[in-house]
C-alpha cells in the first residue's frame, strides 16, 4: 500500500483540519513513525491467533455478551496492522479543551484506559504529561509500547477499565478514547472514582462517523448494516446514550469537533477491515462486502479519494 494512502487530516502535513471556526495543519510523522517501529519490531504474522483487542474490559472466556458474536477482548484479533494504520486519530483541540476547561497541566498524571496502540496517549505525552497506558490485551499493549518508546513519561500497564491495577488516588485525569462502549459501566465508574484524586477529571471520547452527510457515507453505512457481523449491537452510540447516567450524580459537559479522513481504495478497505464487526477472509460475507465497497468507491469518489467525516465527541466531568 502507498505510505500515504490513508491521509488522515490529523496527521497529514498537507491536509487542513477544520474545527469550528479554526483550522490547523498537523504533523505527518505519526503514521510513518508507527510503520518504522513496527517493521523493526517484527513480522505482523507473529500476532496471528492472539487476542489483539483494544478493549478495556477484561472479560472471562466463559462470559457471553448478549447480541455479540465475540467477547470484547477477542474482537480485534488479526486486525492490529489495519487498526494502527487506518483508524482515525484525535483533534489536537481535544487537549486544548482539557487545558482550558479542566485545567490540564503538564505535571498532571493521567491514566489513559484502553489505550490500545496509543493514538490518544501520544497527544497527552506531547503535552508533557506522565501517562499510564492501561490496556488489557497483550498484543495491543506491546504495539503501543513500541510506538511510544520514545516517550520517557509513558508507562504501559496490564489492566482493564474495571480493574486498572493502579493505586488509589493515583491520577489527576482518567481518559478513554473510542473504548468505553466495551466497558462494564457500573464497575468502571467505581474503579475510575477510586484511582482519581479528589477534584480529578474523567474524559470519555469517541470519533463518531457521520452516516448521512454524503451519498458515499450513506452507502457505506448500509454496507455495514448489510454485511457486518454484529454492527447494530456494538455501535458505540448505544453507550453514549448512557454517558450522563455514568457521570451521575455529578454533571458532565459535552463538546464536539469536526474531523475527516481521506482514503484511496486500498486504505478504505484497510479502514473497513480494522473494525471488529467487519467479516474477514473466509467468512461468507467477506467477498460480497468487498465487492460492494469497490462499487461504492467507484461510484462516489472524486479524484480517487473517498472522504470519511467524523464528529469527535468529548464528555468530561468529575466523579466525586
Helices (H) and strands (E) in the chain, counts: 12, 10
Spell out the domain ranges in the chain. Answer: 28-210+237-267+310-317
Can you give the pLDDT of all 320 residues of the chain as single tens digits?
333 233 333 333 223 233 332 222 233 343 444 444 443 333 332 333 333 333 333 322 222 233 334 445 444 444 567 767 888 899 999 999 999 999 999 999 999 999 998 999 999 999 999 999 999 988 889 989 999 999 999 999 999 999 999 999 999 999 999 999 889 999 999 999 999 999 999 999 999 999 999 999 999 999 999 999 888 776 756 556 789 999 999 999 999 999 999 999 999 999 999 888 899 899 999 999 999 999 999 999 888 999 999 999 999 999 99
Which residues are bridge partners to 177 per DSSP?
205
**68, three cell numbers:** 455479540
| Separation of alpha carbons 238 and 313, rounded Å | 14
Q: What helix, strand, coil percent values describe the chain, rounded to 5?
A: 35, 20, 40
Q: What is the CA radius of gyration of the chain?
A: 19
CATH architecture of 28-210+237-267+310-317: 3-Layer(aba) Sandwich (3.40)
Residue of 231, 217, 208 lying closest to 296 (CA atoms): 217
Which residues are bridge partners to 18 per DSSP?
23
Amino acid at each position: 500500500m502507498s505510505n500515504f494512502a490513508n491521509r488522515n487530516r490529523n496527521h497529514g502535513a498537507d491536509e487542513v483540519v477544520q474545527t469550528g471556526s479554526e483550522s490547523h495543519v498537523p504533523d505527518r510523522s505519526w503514521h510513518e513513525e508507527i510503520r518504522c517501529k513496527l517493521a523493526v519490531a517484527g513480522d505482523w504474522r507473529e500476532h496471528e491467533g492472539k487476542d489483539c483487542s483494544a478493549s478495556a474490559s477484561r472479560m472471562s472466556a466463559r462470559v457471553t455478551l448478549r447480541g455479540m458474536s465475540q467477547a470484547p477482548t477477542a474482537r480485534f484479533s488479526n486486525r492490529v496492522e489495519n487498526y494502527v494504520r487506518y483508524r482515525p486519530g484525535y483533534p489536537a483541540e481535544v487537549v486544548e479543551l482539557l487545558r482550558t476547561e479542566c485545567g490540564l497541566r503538564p505535571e498532571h498524571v493521567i491514566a489513559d484506559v484502553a489505550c490500545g496502540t496509543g493514538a490518544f496517549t501520544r497527544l497527552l505525552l506531547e503535552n508533557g504529561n506522565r501517562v499510564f497506558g492501561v490496556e488489557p490485551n497483550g498484543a495491543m499493549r506491546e504495539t503501543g509500547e513500541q510506538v511510544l518508546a520514545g516517550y520517557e513519561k509513558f508507562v504501559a500497564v496490564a489492566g482493564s477499565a474495571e480493574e486498572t491495577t493502579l493505586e488509589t488516588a493515583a491520577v489527576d485525569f482518567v481518559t478513554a478514547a473510542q473504548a468505553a462502549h466495551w466497558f462494564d459501566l457500573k464497575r468502571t465508574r467505581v474503579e475510575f472514582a477510586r484511582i482519581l484524586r479528589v477534584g480529578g477529571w474523567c474524559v470519555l471520547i469517541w470519533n463518531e462517523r457521520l452516516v448521512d452527510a454524503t451519498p458515499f457515507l450513506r452507502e457505506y453505512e448500509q454496507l455495514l448494516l448489510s454485511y457486518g457481523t454484529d454492527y447494530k449491537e456494538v455501535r458505540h452510540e448505544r453507550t453514549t446514550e448512557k454517558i450522563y447516567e455514568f457521570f451521575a450524580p455529578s454533571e458532565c459537559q459535552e463538546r464536539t469537533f469536526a474531523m475527516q479522513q481521506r482514503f484511496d481504495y486500498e486504505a478504505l478497505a484497510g479502514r473497513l477491515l480494522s473494525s471488529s464487526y467487519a467479516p474477514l477472509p473466509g467468512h461468507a460475507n467477506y467477498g460480497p462486502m468487498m465487492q460492494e465497497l469497490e462499487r461504492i468507491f467507484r461510484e462516489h469518489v472524486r479524484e480517487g479519494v473517498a472522504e470519511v467525516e467524523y464528529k469527535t465527541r468529548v464528555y468530561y466531568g468529575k466523579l466525586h
